[in-house]
Amino acid sequence: MINPKRLPARQALIEAAFDVLSGNPGASLAEIALAAGVGRATLHRQFASRDELLRALAHIAIEEMDAATDTACAGVESHGDALRLCFDALIPLGNRHDFIARASFDQDDTLAAVYERMTAETAEMVDGAKREGIFAPDVPASWIIQAYDHLLYAAWQSVRSGDATPTQAAGLAWRTLTRGLESSR
């Protein structure tokens, strides 16, 4: 975890907000400022309102997640490999993914469109992986997508608590998604 108190004020607020809001989505701006090691006046100089902060976080999360998955999947030839590599890329950004999963985009058409694009891309990868035989054809794509999202969250929590490295968590998440929790015997 990044120590927000060693960053410039705006970046410290962003990192603290992701961390604080991932544990408590209803956290106050005062709690975020405290976690960032800045005063509320500094927070308000950077972000005029809670809504402005939340919109900025959504844009940042989407940009970072897109960049990470684009880099991880560059040149990949199968949908199954892309899904697996996305675990590797997104687990370190778990607080961003969690933030986006909980966010409401009702008031921002741009963010709603980007979220729909991300959801469609995931569905496309899942459908492709089904055609490749990674997933059983009778399992609905929506079920697989929900399982994927929840496993990503579980993997991030395991890393955050120190129970696994990002690589271990990604491997366990992929194994659970593709083989369940079957015994290796």
Q: What is the CATH number of the domain that holds 118?
A: 1.10.357.10
Does residue 167 belong to any structural domain of this protein? Answer: yes
Q: What is the CATH number of the domain that holds 15?
A: 1.10.10
Same domain, 148 and 71: yes
DSSP letter assigned to residue 181: T
Same domain, 57 and 131: yes
Same domain, 11 and 63: no
Looking at the predicted structure, is the pLDDT value of residue 2 above 80? no
Contact 17, 53 (CB under 8 A): yes
Same domain, 170 and 94: yes
- One DSSP character per residue, 99-152 reads HHHH---TT-HHHHHHHHHHHHHHHHHHHHHHHTTSS-TTS-HHHHHHHHHHHH
Share of residues in the chain with pLDDT > 70 (%): 96
Instruction: Give me the pLDDT at residue 166, please.
Output: 92
Same domain, 44 and 66: no
Does residue 155 belong to any structural domain of this protein? Answer: yes
Looking at the predicted structure, is the pLDDT value of residue 74 above 60? yes
Instruction: Give me the pLDDT at residue 71, please.
Output: 96
Looking at the predicted structure, is the pLDDT value of residue 98 above 80? yes
Q: How far apart are the first and last CA of the chain?
A: 37
DSSP letter assigned to residue 169: H
Average pLDDT over residues 70-83: 95
Instruction: Give me the pLDDT at residue 22, please.
Output: 84
Same domain, 139 and 122: yes
DSSP letter assigned to residue 11: H
| Single-letter amino acid code for the residue at 27 | A
Report CA dihedral (137, 140, 142, 146) to the nearest 10 degrees: -80
Same domain, 17 and 60: no
Instruction: Give me the pLDDT at residue 5, please.
Output: 56
Backbone angles phi, psi at 90, to 5 degrees: -90, -25
Structural domain boundaries, residue 68: 50-179
Tokens representing residue 28 in the block: 């106050």
Same domain, 67 and 127: yes
Average pLDDT over residues 134-143: 94
Rounded to two decimals, the pTM is 0.84
Does residue 185 belong to any structural domain of this protein? Answer: no
Using alpha carbons, select from 9, 147, 97 the residue that is nearest to residue 139: 147
Using alpha carbons, select from 146, 142, 151 the residue that is nearest to residue 171: 151
Does residue 36 belong to any structural domain of this protein? Answer: yes
Instruction: Give me the pLDDT at residue 184, please.
Output: 63
Same domain, 117 and 41: no
Same domain, 143 and 64: yes
Same domain, 28 and 88: no
Instruction: Give me the pLDDT at residue 156, please.
Output: 92
Instruction: Give me the pLDDT at residue 3, please.
Output: 54
Same domain, 37 and 97: no
Q: 133: alpha, beta or left, given left = phi > 0 and alpha = psi -120 to 50?
A: left
Express each pLDDT in 13-53 by its tens digit. Answer: 999 999 999 878 889 999 999 999 999 999 999 999 998 99
pLDDT band at 159 (very low <50, low <70, confident <90, very high): very high
Average pLDDT over residues 145-167: 93
Contact 139, 86 (CB under 8 A): no
Instruction: Give me the pLDDT at residue 119, please.
Output: 87
Does residue 184 belong to any structural domain of this protein? Answer: no
Instruction: Give me the pLDDT at residue 83, please.
Output: 95
Instruction: Give me the pLDDT at residue 171, please.
Output: 95
**What is the tally of structural domains in the chain?**
2
Contact 18, 95 (CB under 8 A): yes
